[in-house]
Amino acid sequence: VFFLAAFLFFHLGRTCRTLRTKCFSYLACGMSLGASLASKEIAATFILVAAAYEFFFLRRRYPCRKIETAIVFGALSIIIVAASVVFLRSTPLIPPKNFTAIDRLISQPRVIIYYLSVAFFPRRDAIAVDYDFAPSKGMFSPAGTMASIFIVIGLLLWSMRKAASGVTSGGISWFGLVWFFSTSAIEASFLRLELAFLHRTYLPSVLLPLLGADIHTASSRRARLILLVATFAAVAALMAMTRAESTSWRSPEAVWLDTLKSSPSKPRVLLNLGVIKENSGRVAEAKELYHRAEELAPQIYSGHLFIGVVCLNEKDIECANREISIAKSLAPNDYLVNYNYGRLLIELGRIPDSLEFSL
């Protein structure tokens, strides 16, 4: 919402004529952008969307002095850079271990194709809370890597060329694709974040209403009526799918069991399902899931910690000492690790040493 509000105020600032309205609109744009950045880091892509909108639609219809453009984009850049510095200092990135930055970069075209396919054809088997997306390890591993790269580059260049043609010849639809690629830019870059999450598509999916709006404005009255009926039919179908999904995900355990089917090798899925089983008293099942997660990702402290806590509760001090000590070495500043390390020290009879960690 804040991102879209910033975009609206940017448009108002660029298209209005009075200085007072311009100043108010640009100030509101900056405040909305700041709120958006505080909500989600992906808002840093706003500068790309605004620059594309300026280039494709505003510079010819609403020409302005270069000093205004420089001040506005300079101020927006300062806001984004400042927010990025604050975020990186407070939340250091912990890169996944199973792929390199280059692996991630060549994997992202496949991820983009996956996002587009889900946006237009939301298949049940492609939707999960935590999707296990295999990284590309070369241009032909897996086979679709090279083809996805060419498709994404071709779509990007074609959409930029078409968007530049203007509103009257379908430019809004093609700008929607530029919007999609721009708002995916950070999470589709070489930064070693997790490969794919469907929640990353909420801003890129603005492509769909932009596409619908363009078709509506370019169509005849009869075609608009057909489009309206088709839209309501699609909405009804999606509502039915959502209801069916909410029924199948009737409990937290059902959600993670369903996710486990599509992501059997995802440690986070195993750990979350294990916590649910442990909280419901099925400790043996939980412990098995924790061990599977630990085998898949021994560098993640959570698996070691959860196993250690189970062992500690069962008074298996040797197992608890081994696992919690490993978790302590992997995450020495984590609150839960230190708290349970203090509990372990108490069980080992080192009560004075435990005070540092238990309080």
Mean pLDDT of each 10-residue bin along the chain, 359 residues long = 92 90 93 90 89 85 85 90 78 64 86 83 68 81 88 85 62 81 82 76 81 70 77 80 70 83 83 91 91 88 91 90 90 87 87 73
Q: Which residues of 132-150 are buried (b: 16+ CB within 10 A; e: fewer)?
A: bbebbeeeeeeeebbebbe
Tell me the pTM.
0.68
Rounded to whole angstroms, how far apart are CA atoms 46 and 128? 27
pLDDT of residue 194: 76
> Whole-angstrom Cα distance, residue 184 to residue 176?
12
Tokens of 157: 């260049």
Q: CA angle at residue 197 from 99 to 89, to 5 degrees?
A: 70
Contact 186, 204 (CB under 8 A): no
Report how far residue 209's alpha carbon sits from residue 227's, in angstroms, rounded to the nearest whole number.
12
pLDDT for residue 359: 58
> How far is Cα of residue 228 from the mean position of the Cα atoms in its chain?
31
